[in-house]
Structure 1
Amino acid sequence: MSVAGVVVRDDGRVLVIRRADNGTWEPPGGVLERAEAIEDGVRREVLAETGIEVRVERLTGVYKNTALGVVTLVFRCRLEGGHAQLTDESTAVAWFTPDEAVAAMSEVYAVRITDALHDDEAPHIRTHDGRKLTPLQGD
């Protein structure tokens, strides 16, 4: 299982990274450790990849990569402190407008930003093949 944080600043900009391993722009996140609480994992991953400390607000989406069998929980977060910095896992850390973030990302990561910015009460549930969104079974 993996987790990611869509970190939103007071001015509406969102925190994004360009991953060192594949060069893609994404919200920061990674694999949850076995004995780790889910929200602790979100905070740890965002800090490790960006230098930013966050407060986890709410679950905004559940995304299943059907090609890899990985489920990612995405949470909306608020900036608490720290300074954006490069790490071994990121070649760029930036605060993008939502439109800039969506334009820079592939469909499967862009939807995580748009889902997190909606004020829906229930989290979105989506599947993808690693590149494109796919219909949920039964759709």
Structure 2
Amino acid sequence: MTTPRPSDRGKCHFYGLNSTYATTMWQIVDMTTSINPAPIDNQIVRFNLSAWLGDYARDEDAAGILFTFLTQANQTVGNTTTLGPVSPADRNSATLVYRQINGQVPIGARRFKLLVTITRVSGSINDGDVDNIALWFYRL
């Protein structure tokens, strides 16, 4: 309980488990259900993506997130944003560390895809983990 962690640790926690190499999960979300496309195309909508990423002690298994915007036709638009992974040195042997990134929603974006990959590097189980993935959109 003394290691860095989200205050509500474990409420949205994902763990690699017994995968031989990597565990992945993804979600595609239609932004137009909550954001009018006009502000996006006028370049006044930004995003903030954050998560707690890590592994156990000095283990090198790791979690990372790829964040991609898509057009209505599911074509990639803009750059893919990467959050993590974090190394044992980045974590200073803590289990989880907080990471965040901000950016602009590209013109033509109507959907986004979050892809989480938890990769086993060593050991007999994939104990890389991610907790409390959060994504916020806001206007300039």
Q: Same fold (TM over 0.5)?
A: no
- Structure 1 or 2: more helix by fraction: 1
- Structure 1 or 2: more strand by fraction: 2
**Which structure has more RCO (C-alpha within 8 Å, separation ≥ 6)?**
2
- TM-score normalized by the length of structure 1: 0.24
- TM-score normalized by the length of structure 2: 0.24
Structure (1 or 2) with the larger CA radius of gyration = 2
